Homo-oligomer: A and B are copies of this chain.
Amino acid sequence: MLTITIYDVAREANVSMATVSRVVNGNQNVKPATRQKVLAVIERLDYRPNAVARGLASKKTKTVGVIIPDISNVFYAELVRGIEDIATMYRYNIILTNSDQQEDKEVQLLSTLLSKQVDGVVMMSDEISSEMLHEMNRATVPIVLAGTVETSNSFPSVNIEYHDAAVDAVNRLIKNGHKRIAFVSGSIDSTITKLYKVSGYERALNEASIEIDTDLIVGVNNTYDDGLVAWDQLRELKDPPTAFFAGNDEIAIGLIHGAQDNGLRVPEDIEVMSFENSKLTRMVRPQLTSVVLPLYDIGAVSMRLLTKHMNKENIEENNVILPYWIEERKSVK
């Protein structure tokens, strides 16, 4: 299994390894004739540069680390696809890791990524622990936060205006005459949910002079079943909600099915506004009206932002805010 190296190519082509290195790296300081000669030998020997050796010598690996909670969740998968596409465009590969939202695992993942000498990291997390922040600050390569906020804004990031989006979403429901509007969300203690979404929900109610009932704010996990469970819990209330603002599409669908399984119609009897806009929105009846969280774009822009840092390009805006809007479908009148 003798691997053929740059040295073999050099010998066969009667040039120095430096010259081979130059043609491999597209350096212009090579006479066309010798370039051809070298290229021919590379072809003949089927030479393939060893990226590990290259990484050691150049201190650049052309690979970036990605830390997300769980790739089997469409939510994050969409984000990763955005990251990957832009990474490919800039000739980077990605090492993908799942944190399952565990703080200690996040720290450890970042640590191994750094030991693997990634050129940068894109990460998404509900909540950045102080240990994680410490590890992040130790890093000598850029780290960008995708769809996650770190309150001091000391790291590059890409997000939307979650607060405004929540206000708009709830206003949409208020406009339809609802007074009893529930907010059902996962990651209820995460920075984004707590600081931005809940506050947006409350602000909209306040502005409409609707009393805030904490019974109507329910924290669950992010799955379909949680939507179902939340429905069951909420309908027990003496004065149950007539409209729901869901933290994501799966929860929204659970809520809808909960209602339908109880003989209620959506949107005639119950209205549901979601917050995600994955492809699932179209796969329910009625189709989901949802705030658009552009996950693919958040991933893509995050990766682009990361390349700018890695290349030490000029950065106009280090904390990017992407636009959002509400995609009207059939779960809200």
A→B interface (CB under 8 Å): 1, 3, 46, 48-53, 55-56, 61, 63, 70-74, 77-78, 80-81, 84-85, 88, 93-98, 111-117, 138, 140, 224, 250, 253, 257, 260, 279-280, 282-285, 296
Contact = CB atoms under 8 A, between A and B. Distances in A.
B95 A71 contact: no
Nearest to A50: B117
Nearest to A3: B140
Contact of A114 (B48, B112, B115): B48
A93 B97 contact: yes
Contact of A71 (B56, B84, B98, B284): B84
15 contacts: A46-B138, A49-B115, A50-B56, A52-B117, A71-B81, A72-B80, A72-B81, A72-B296, A74-B74, A80-B96, A84-B96, A85-B98, A88-B97, A95-B95, A284-B284
Given A50-B117, A61-B52, A116-B51, A98 B84 contact: yes
A325 B253 CA distance: 27
Nearest to A91: B112
Given A52-B55, A63-B95, A95-B95, A283 B285 contact: no
Contacts of A95: 63, 93-96
A257 B257 CA distance: 15
Nearest to A114: B48
Main secondary structure of the interface of A (DSSP, over half): helix
A51 B115 contact: yes
Kindly list the 5 A-B residue pairs having the minimum CB-CB distance in the complex, ordered from nearest. A72-B81, A96-B96, A51-B116, A77-B77, A52-B55
Most chain B beta-carbon contacts within 10 A, residue among A48, A72, A81 = A72
A264 B84 CA distance: 42
A93 B81 contact: no
Contacts of A285: 257, 260, 285
A285 B85 CA distance: 35
Nearest to A227: B283
B81 A98 contact: yes
B71 A116 contact: no
Given A71-B71, A77-B71, A224-B282, A112 B93 contact: yes
Given A3-B140, A50-B115, 11 more contacts: A50-B56, A52-B52, A52-B61, A53-B56, A72-B74, A72-B77, A77-B77, A81-B98, A88-B97, A93-B97, A284-B284
